[in-house]
Chain A
Amino acid sequence: MKKYLYIFRAEMMSALQYFSNLFSGFIGYFIIIFILLNLWNYIYDDPTELINGYTKTQMIWYVIITEILWKIFNGRKFCRQICNDVKGGNIAYNMNKPYSYIGYVLSSHLGEGLVKTVAYVAVGMILGKIFLGTFPSHSVSSLMIVFLSGLLAVIIDALCIIFISLISFYIEDAHPLYWLYSKMILILGTMFPVEFFPTALQGIIAMTPIYVICYGPAKLFVDFSMDSAIHIIIFQILYVLVAYALCLALYRKGVRKLNVNGG
């Protein structure tokens, strides 16, 4: 376990050096939240109105959370890194090291994500306080559950991207697949809660990772209930186990293929 901690720390240190990039990231984040704030201000006629079960304040808190998650995911770089490892044969080199490749990339991704998490959660909360004035009501334990759910969301997203990237063992370029995945998350996950889509579509979305990656943590933050928390966390844990198993299977199969071909 210690080695993962070390990888995690090293990545975190280098992420700190990218502080100035982070700052311009904040401005980008601010702009998006500002635009969506104006958009929902226009769409809601008055603050007490409910659209699909959400008040205006809840709606804006919802996007504050999903946009934080989106910033932490940073999937394109992550996908490129793994694809390069597969294509460049680096993955075979990693095979001889006394740690699992998936464990390695996951912990390095999370290390980088932690700095961002702290930064963006702070920025998001400040923006919410300035724009909306109120926080959704929470107890310490419910906040911890939301945080846990957010962490699981980041892990599931990372595993999904690892899975997609490992497909490069079999196809020339996995980037288009990642692209489709990220578009799905961005359009169907970060912009609106599931309830905003037509009923038929809602059922489908509930079965995709969108439900556990974006909707789950954001919904718990804006409208917490123990019932939905248990429901979402159980779903997320199942997702983690299944996704990890799939990644491992694909990795083992892929590496074997690499060996057969003398990669």
Chain B
Amino acid sequence: MAVIEVKNLKKNFRVKLKEKGLKGSLKSMVKASYRTVEAVKGVNFEVQEGEVIAFIGPNGAGKSTTIKMLTGILYPDGGDIRVLGIDPTKERKKLAYEIGTVFGQKEQLWMHLTPYDNFKFFGAIYDIPDKEAEKRIEEIKELFELQEIMNTPVRNLSLGQRIRCEIAASLIHQPKVLFLDEPTIGLDPVVKDSIRKLIKKMNKEYHTTVFLTSHDVSDIEKLCKRVIIINNGELVMDDSMENLKYHHLNKKIIEIKLAKMADFSNFDGIKVLKQKDTNFKLEIDLKKKSIADVLKLIHSDDLIDMNISNTPLEEIISEIYRDGVKV
């Protein structure tokens, strides 16, 4: 079942143009000039129930704009959105009961209150009866391991603890879809990892559909089975993580350490990325050369160490951003 359906979605922003300096300020005050920027230019996709999907793109690509239209924050200029069959522009409140949102850079919690009071507040917002709310808070406390910080005011918590509480608070009403906008931004690797585990656990336990935007490729790699890439307001890719790796992983990186000097510079399909004495880092284009071809070039007696790896996902993605590969 499709939980999110997006058809030909469009959004334009009016950008105010301002000339530099005092004269520019005065001029823009008298008569402001505007330019229309198409932030999202007719985007189509679907998300199935229970999926964990990554929605990524460089800054200004339109990913935040899209997520804000899906959650009912922004009003689209064209196209059609259905989240759980609900149109966010027409039934914003009805949709709000069914979805959860976490915006990494924006605080939804009251800083001077404890997580417990905050959860109670969210319980009231979603009209959950007190008794039921208590039960759910108890459950979430266990799942998110919040026992020790339950009665500490949020402003005294670390950033990681805070984000954990933000996510917990967005689950009080047991949403069917969770929108996470940059949930791990500014966190250290250990905390990032625990947040990822949490998202995974939640997806498994509650079968929550997760729609995630992130700059952090390892977030995506560890969490998502499907990736949608947006750039300049257009979808440039919508594919499973496996396919993404398969299609774009036609290159291998070989690092070798030799006993004797060798020369790899004149072969088609082999690129020397780095060389220091007899240490080489080579990129092999598998369409032109196989690994076996490369190994034939090396005398096995000279080989001291060897390491074969895939191109890092990060590089694949930035390549897609650059080239704008059409789906």
Question: Interface residues, chain A, CB within 8 Å of chain B?
Answer: 13, 16-17, 19-20
B259 at interface, CB cutoff 8 A: no
Give Cα A240–Cα B84 distance, bound, in whole angstroms: 74
Residues of A within 8 Å of B22, CB to CB, are 13, 16-17
Give Cα A27–Cα B109 distance, bound, in whole angstroms: 39
Give Cα A13–Cα B29 distance, bound, in whole angstroms: 17
Q: Distance in Å from the Cβ of B31 to the closest Cβ of chain A? A: 14
B262 at interface, CB cutoff 8 A: no
Give Cα A17–Cα B26 distance, bound, in whole angstroms: 8
Q: Distance in Å from the Cβ of A21 to the closest Cβ of chain B? A: 11
B318 at interface, CB cutoff 8 A: no
- Which 5 pairs, one residue from A and one from B, show the smallest C-beta to C-beta distance? A20-B29, A17-B25, A17-B22, A16-B22, A19-B26
Q: Mark B22-60, 1 if CB is under 8 A from A, else 0.
A: 100110010000000000000000000000000000000
Give Cα A102–Cα B169 distance, bound, in whole angstroms: 52
Name 7 A/B residue pairs within 8 A (Cβ), A-sorted: A13-B22, A16-B22, A17-B22, A17-B25, A19-B26, A19-B29, A20-B29
Of all chain B residues, which has the CB nearest A20?
Answer: B29
Q: Distance in Å from the Cβ of A20 to the closest Cβ of chain B? A: 6
Residues of B within 8 Å of A13, CB to CB, are 22
Q: Distance in Å from the Cβ of A15 to the closest Cβ of chain B? A: 11
Give Cα A19–Cα B29 distance, bound, in whole angstroms: 9
Q: Mark B10-27, 1 if CB is under 8 A from A, else 0.
A: 000000000000100110
Of all chain A residues, which has the CB nearest B25?
Answer: A17
Residues of B within 8 Å of A20, CB to CB, are 29
Residues of B within 8 Å of A17, CB to CB, are 22, 25
Give Cα A19–Cα B26 distance, bound, in whole angstroms: 8
Give Cα A148–Cα B22 distance, bound, in whole angstroms: 31
Chain B residues with a Cβ closer than 8 Å to the other chain, count: 4
Of all chain A residues, which has the CB nearest B29?
Answer: A20
Give Cα A215–Cα B29 distance, bound, in whole angstroms: 38
Q: Distance in Å from the Cβ of B243 to the closest Cβ of chain A? A: 54
Residues of B within 8 Å of A19, CB to CB, are 26, 29
Of all chain A residues, which has the CB nearest B26?
Answer: A19
Give Cα A16–Cα B26 distance, bound, in whole angstroms: 10
Q: Distance in Å from the Cβ of A23 to the closest Cβ of chain B? A: 9
Give Cα A16–Cα B258 distance, bound, in whole angstroms: 70
Residues of A within 8 Å of B26, CB to CB, are 19
Give Cα A19–Cα B22 distance, bound, in whole angstroms: 11
Residues of A within 8 Å of B29, CB to CB, are 19-20
Q: Distance in Å from the Cβ of B183 to the closest Cβ of chain A? A: 36
Give Cα A13–Cα B25 distance, bound, in whole angstroms: 13
Of all chain B residues, which has the CB nearest A16?
Answer: B22
Give Cα A17–Cα B18 distance, bound, in whole angstroms: 14
Give Cα A20–Cα B22 distance, bound, in whole angstroms: 13
Give Cα A79–Cα B317 distance, bound, in whole angstroms: 54
Give Cα A17–Cα B22 distance, bound, in whole angstroms: 7
Q: Distance in Å from the Cβ of A10 to the closest Cβ of chain B? A: 13
Give Cα A98–Cα B26 distance, bound, in whole angstroms: 35
Give Cα A16–Cα B25 distance, bound, in whole angstroms: 10
Give Cα A13–Cα B26 distance, bound, in whole angstroms: 13
Give Cα A16–Cα B21 distance, bound, in whole angstroms: 12
Give Cα A178–Cα B160 distance, bound, in whole angstroms: 43
Q: Distance in Å from the Cβ of A222 to the closest Cβ of chain B? A: 35
Give Cα A13–Cα B21 distance, bound, in whole angstroms: 11
Residues of B within 8 Å of A16, CB to CB, are 22
Q: Mark B113-126, 1 if CB is under 8 A from A, else 0.
A: 00000000000000
Of all chain B residues, which has the CB nearest A23?
Answer: B29
Give Cα A20–Cα B25 distance, bound, in whole angstroms: 10
Give Cα A81–Cα B135 distance, bound, in whole angstroms: 51
Give Cα A20–Cα B30 distance, bound, in whole angstroms: 10
Of all chain B residues, which has the CB nearest A13?
Answer: B22
Give Cα A242–Cα B25 distance, bound, in whole angstroms: 42
Residues of A within 8 Å of B25, CB to CB, are 17
Give Cα A17–Cα B25 distance, bound, in whole angstroms: 8
Give Cα A123–Cα B26 distance, bound, in whole angstroms: 20
Q: Distance in Å from the Cβ of A87 to the closest Cβ of chain B? A: 22
Q: Distance in Å from the Cβ of A164 to the closest Cβ of chain B? A: 32
Q: Distance in Å from the Cβ of A227 to the closest Cβ of chain B? A: 46
Give Cα A17–Cα B21 distance, bound, in whole angstroms: 10
Q: Distance in Å from the Cβ of B18 to the closest Cβ of chain A? A: 13
Q: Distance in Å from the Cβ of B263 to the closest Cβ of chain A? A: 62
Give Cα A116–Cα B22 distance, bound, in whole angstroms: 17
Q: Distance in Å from the Cβ of A129 to the closest Cβ of chain B? A: 26
Give Cα A207–Cα B252 distance, bound, in whole angstroms: 90
Q: Distance in Å from the Cβ of B222 to the closest Cβ of chain A? A: 45
Give Cα A218–Cα B308 distance, bound, in whole angstroms: 88
Give Cα A16–Cα B22 distance, bound, in whole angstroms: 8
Q: Distance in Å from the Cβ of A56 to the closest Cβ of chain B? A: 38
Q: Distance in Å from the Cβ of A13 to the closest Cβ of chain B? A: 7
Q: Distance in Å from the Cβ of A16 to the closest Cβ of chain B? A: 7
Q: Distance in Å from the Cβ of B119 to the closest Cβ of chain A? A: 37
